[in-house]
Every structure is written in structure tokens, then in C-alpha cells.
Amino acid sequence: MEAKAKPLLTPGKMTKGQRRMRSLKDNAPFLLMIFPAVLVVFLFNYLPIYGVLIAFQDFMPGDKILSDTTIWVGFENFTRFFSDPQFWPLMKNTFLICIYGFIIGFPLPIIISLMLNSLKTRKTAKWLQTIFTAPHFISLVVLVGMLTLFFGRYGLVNNIVAHMGGERYSYFLESSAFRPMYILSSNWQDFGWSAVIYIAALSNVDPQQHEAAILDGATRFQRVIHVDLPAIMPMISVMLIMSIGGLMGVGYEKALLMQTDGNLAVSELISTYVYKRGLTGVPDQAYATAIGLFNSVINVVLLIIANTTSKRFSENSLW
């Protein structure tokens, strides 16, 4: 072995500045690794955020967002929306579909996960879980297609009704059927998927806790209430915060597919209205953007309120 072979490339001891430079050089590869993600987020998330400026402008498609000819109109687009005859119906439709969805969709996965966890055999639970999560992977188009095949004029329900001598009756043209169909089909599709996170948390409960409870004389049901439920409580809080943050945040994808002339009175939501005013017919982009912005601000405010409240009353919060 040659003892003092290679000369030092770096000085043995560095000044603070040199150190910082070297640390930067050592870690520069990370910057390269993160760069594509930064670029993608910049293009598809931040540029649109910059684009909301048109909500405060008199904007025609093709205009530059910032130029000498930009006409600023302040909050005019917003006030226009507030006096739009559609304003209250939109708010109501959006809120109602979210709140009904929440009332049914929030507890359901919790109950299902507790029930699955109470099964005696792990294997059955695994099988049921596989079945319950399957619909999550059905696309929205197919899901709504299936709805028409069951509840449309010539769907299963009507076929049976007709078979028994009744009148065919399309649930898709009926305002009153829209919300139940929307919410129940959403739950049919996603309750199993939403339960997975609780099931994961439940599987981490120490079996000795259950054994201790059995020795204390607890019934299986009491153990669900006093052992299992407390174990997923933190998860429930986080989910609750997120759900409250989404109480006005229903998207357009599914509603658009389910809309018909007949149910428009309840199926027109803020998000679908934004789509229609902004991208179809004679587009009024500035107006549609203002409505969308109004909606996102509501969502952020709801989320902050939910998080702050949760922070005050428990130790669970998102941030």
C-alpha cells in the first residue's frame, strides 16, 4: 500500500463559504431530480393561478393577460355573478349535493371498516375488501352509463316495471331523482376505497388491547366502541377536516355526464356552470373565471376554518 498516494482535491479544512459551495455542489443532483416536477407544476398549476387575473378584467379570448390594452374592471365580474338569477340556485345545488353526500359518505366507510375488522376470519375480510374496492376502478363514464342502464327509460328498473304492467318512467329526466342517484352511485363506487385507510389503521391495533378488554368483560360490540373506534379517531379527524374543506368543492366531471334537460334545475352546479359559461356556446371567460375563483376561495376558507376549529378542540390538524 502506498501511503500518501493521492493528492487532495479539496482543501482539508474549508472556510464557511467554501463549505456552503461544496454542500451546494454535493446536493446539486437533487435539484436536477426535482426540476421536472417543478416545471410540470409551474406549467399546469401556477400558470393557471396567474391566469385568474382575467377574473378582474374585461377579457376576450386571445387577449394577453397583462398588456397596455388590458381593461381592468375590478370586482365587476363577481358582482355580476352575485346578481345573476342563477346565483342562489347554483349555490344551493352545490351545497346540497355536497352536504347530502357528506352525511352519507362520511360515516359509511368508517362503519364498513369497523364491521370488516370485526369479522372473525381475516380471509373473509380480505375477500370482502377486494369486492368493496373494485367499483373504485370503474370510470365515471362507465358508472354513469351503468346508471342509465339501470334507471334510464329502458333500464332494468323500468323493464321490470313495464313487465309488471307499469309505466316507463325515466329517472334521468326527473329533478328529484338526480341527487339520490348521484350520491348513492358515488358511495357505491367509493365507500370501499375510502374504508381502506381506516382498515389500515385498524390493523395496527395491538391485539393485546382486545385481549385486555375481553378479560375486563367487554362484549365484541363494546370492544368496537372502546378499542377500535378510538384507534381510528385521529384518522377520522383528518378526514373530517378534508371533507369540510370540500363542502363546496364538487367537480364537474360526473355531474356533466348526468345532466339532462329534465334535471338541470338541480344538476347545474357552480363547477358545471363555469364549464358551460367558459368553454361552450359564446364563452364569457372572465365571468366564468370569476365564478371559479369565488368557488376556490370558499373552499380554502372552509378548509382553514375546519382546520383551525379542529386544532382548537383536539390535537389533530392538517398543519
What is the closest distance, in whole angstroms, from the C-beta atom of residue 313 to another protein in the complex?
Answer: 19
What part of residues 234-263 is at the interface with another protein (CB under 8 A)?
235, 245, 252-253, 256-257, 260-262
Query: Which of 80, 87, 96, 170 contacts another protein by CB under 8 A?
Result: 170
What is the closest distance, in whole angstroms, from the C-beta atom of residue 142 to another protein in the complex?
Answer: 5
Single out the segment in contact with another protein by CB under 8 A; choices: 67-75, 77-85, 96-104, 208-216. Answer: 208-216
Amino acid, res. 41:
V
100 or 299: whose CB is closer to another protein? Answer: 299
On whether the CB atoms of residues 181 and 259 are closer than 8 A, the answer is: no
The HSE-up count of residue 216 (CA atoms within 13 Å, CB side) is: 12
What part of residues 93-152 is at the interface with another protein (CB under 8 A)?
112, 115-116, 118-120, 122, 128-135, 137-142, 144-146, 148-150, 152
Q: How far apart are CA 178 and CA 97, in angstroms?
A: 10
Query: Which of 2, 17, 33, 315 contacts another protein by CB under 8 A?
Result: 33
Residue 296 within binding range of another protein, rule CB under 8 A: yes
The HSE-up count of residue 143 (CA atoms within 13 Å, CB side) is: 23
Q: How far apart are CA 309 and CA 311, in angstroms?
A: 5
What is the closest distance, in whole angstroms, from the C-beta atom of residue 23 to another protein in the complex?
Answer: 7
97 or 293: whose CB is closer to another protein? Answer: 293
Q: How far apart are CA 205 and CA 226, in angstroms?
A: 12
Residue 289 within binding range of another protein, rule CB under 8 A: yes
28 or 265: whose CB is closer to another protein? Answer: 28
Residue 300 within binding range of another protein, rule CB under 8 A: yes
Backbone dihedral region for residue 97 (phi beyond 0: left; psi -120 to 50: alpha; all else: beta) = alpha
In degrees rounded to 5, what are phi and psi of residue 139?
-75, 160
Query: Which of 101, 105, 109, 278 contacts another protein by CB under 8 A?
Result: 278
In degrees rounded to 5, what are phi and psi of residue 104?
-85, -45
Residue 267 within binding range of another protein, rule CB under 8 A: no
Q: How many residues belong to the chain?
A: 319
